Amino acid sequence: MKHLLPNIICLLLVASNLFPSYCLSAASREQEVREAVTAFVTTRTAGMGWDVRIRRIAISDALKLPEGIIDYEVVAPKQWEGWGNVSIAIIARQNDKVLRNIPVRLEVEALAGTVVTLRQIEHGTGITAADLVLQNREITQNSQLAARTIESVVGKNARTTIRANQPVRTDQIEKVPLIKSGQTVTIVAENEVLKISVSGIAHSSGASGDIIRVQNLTSHKEIPARVIDATTVQVAL
């Protein structure tokens, strides 16, 4: 065995001299694929205001590519929003010929400005600016419901108890009702030349701008009307 060792070493040296470009090519190909994936993620999430970080790129068979210029096309599921774990494919082409379809497993972390509670807010409680802070939080499945600005939450009521240090979702808050069901209201109908006012009864509650049901006390008809203030609703003529 000892007398074979010099021969083996010689063969390895010859191979390394004959094929040095393959080793360099393998490393460069993996870097090319990573750069293509990074560029794709950057483009996919551009303009969203997210802080995006690629945690992991797991590449399969990326090294088995020939020398020369190769173009890479990234194919991802249409429903992928640009964050989380996903399997994508990298199509490698050379001179318009498909060389390989490279599977890649991708893990992306995305942080976005999110309104977070500083204390527990009980159900039905009005929310103030002192109750909130804006923080970068990781995007989750419910992130489309997350409140993004403090101004959009301040002045609202909590529809449910919101625990401390939790992102505020838009389905957890509601506008403060100006008119409550059963309340007497003034129903106003007007246009450029005419204005009519009659008394009515609110049959539902609503905040400013909401459409509620009201009953005209003169005609006894129930009609939709827009809340103007704490005592007035408006209908179209």
Q: What is the pLDDT of residues 146-158, one digit of tens each?
A: 999 999 999 999 9
Is-contact 203 221, C-beta < 8 A? no
Q: What is the pLDDT of residues 171-190, one digit of tens each?
A: 999 988 899 999 999 999 98
Q: Is 218 exposed, middle or buried (0-12, 13-18, 19+ CB in 10 A)?
A: exposed
pLDDT of 5 above 90 = no
Q: Which of the given ranges, 2-11, 60-69, 75-84, has the highest pLDDT on average? A: 75-84
User: What fold does the segment set 184-236 form as a domain?
Assistant: SH3 type barrels. (2.30.30)
Q: For 121-132, what is the mean pLDDT?
A: 95
What token pair was written down for 103? 């599977």
Residue 84 forms beta bridges with which residues? 108
Q: How far apart are the first and last CA of the chain?
A: 104
* Sequence-ordered list of residues with C-beta below 8 angstroms from that of 192, at least 6 positions apart, any chain: none
> SS3 of 224, please?
strand
pLDDT of 135 above 90 = yes
pLDDT of 22 above 70 = no
Is-contact 115 63, C-beta < 8 A? no
pLDDT of 194 above 90 = no
pTM above 0.85, yes or no: no
DSSP for residue 61: S
Domain ranges, ordered by start, for the chain: 23-110, 111-174, 184-236
> SS3 of 192, please?
coil
Q: CATH says 111-174 is which class?
A: alpha beta
